[in-house]
Homo-oligomer: A and B are copies of this chain.
Amino acid sequence: MVTIKKIAEIAGVSRGTVDRVLNNRPGVNAETYHKVKEIADKLGYEPNMAGQMLAARKKKIRLGFIVCDTPVDLFFADVYRAACKKAEELKTYGVTVHFYLIKELSDKVIAPLLREAEEDDLDGIALVPLKMSSVQTFVNKMNARKVPMVFFNLDMEDVQRLSYVGCDYYDSGKVAAGLISLVTREKGKIALATSFDEQSPAFRQRLEGFIKELDEEYPQIEIVNRDSNFVFQKGDYSNILDVVKREGHLEALYIINPGDYSICEEVEKLDKERRIKIITNDVNNKQKSFMDRGIISATIGQQPEKQGALPLQILYDFIGLGIEPANQYLTELSIHIKQNIAGKV
């Protein structure tokens, strides 16, 4: 194994010099720089993680994790849990993680929380870049301060960020289309439904991928409400139920953003013979019970554990160990049915 010490011996310089070269720190003669660099490259130097971690403890890295924490956001509850676990693990390496819990999705509630985060002078931040003015302002400020940020669950263009951890929503829609093709045997009428979330463009991307895949691969499947009437308001599913009633033989329903999932029960009441197969997103206890009862047929997960843990790991690796992350880490679009959901919730 190639160590700094070994390189120093071969190059005939001190360990300090080699360290300066490898970490691109100033104060090295150009000639020695090249000599050392060459040897290191040739021997294939890779810093030893154990040593790095041990040394990194002195840095006392402070990270922030901003996430919503409301009874209805079951997905983010899982994310939060995973982040807590990772935070505990990182303690050993001298890292402290500050959590900022969003209790309500309004600028009024979020703004003071983010002000707090600003003042805490963090070394790195993980957050969902919601399309809200308070969040946008915060992101811009942190960018100006050069504080590294990792986005999770949602990406944002035209903004400097270290990395993104989350799913590809367009592909998620395509997977939904594939599932619809399975349960319909590639033909028949189906419908769409979603709640509207102005803070996130995710459902639009899912919709796009879904329609694209269905049109291209399964032309015999007809979406009865593809251009209108698929968005329901919180608690009021009348327009969706009307569609279900109007169409005699609906084979399946893709619920993109189910809200609190009660729409599933409403649809089932209209569908005594259990003809309509419901496909939806994410995995949680409420869904699990609906699956057990045969109300939901399949669901598409997006690894909340990874979305909680990886951003913190990325920030630590970058700040503590100098490891550049990839531009994005896409979570797997896992398919869950009644039989393989047990261990997930």
Interface, chain A (partner B; CB < 8 A): 1, 46, 48-51, 53-54, 57, 91-94, 171, 174-175, 177-179, 182-183, 185, 213, 277, 297-298, 330, 332-340, 343
Contacts and interface: CB of A to CB of B under 8 A. Distances in A.
Q: How many copies of this kind of chain does the complex include?
A: 2
Given A50-B54, A175-B339, 19 more contacts: A1-B92, A48-B92, A49-B50, A50-B51, A50-B93, A171-B340, A174-B339, A175-B340, A177-B339, A178-B337, A178-B340, A182-B183, A185-B185, A213-B339, A330-B343, A332-B343, A333-B339, A335-B336, A335-B340
Contact of A339 (B57, B94, B171): B171
Contact of A54 (B51, B179, B333, B339): B51
Contacts of A343: 330, 332
8 contacts: A46-B92, A49-B92, A50-B57, A175-B337, A182-B277, A182-B297, A330-B343, A332-B334
Contacts of A213: 339
A334 B337 contact: no
A207 to B, nearest CB: 15
A259 B93 CA distance: 48
A53 B50 CA distance: 6
B332 A335 contact: no
A339 B94 CA distance: 42
Nearest to A344: B332
Nearest to A46: B92
Contacts of A332: 334, 340, 343
A175 B179 CA distance: 15
A221 to B, nearest CB: 14
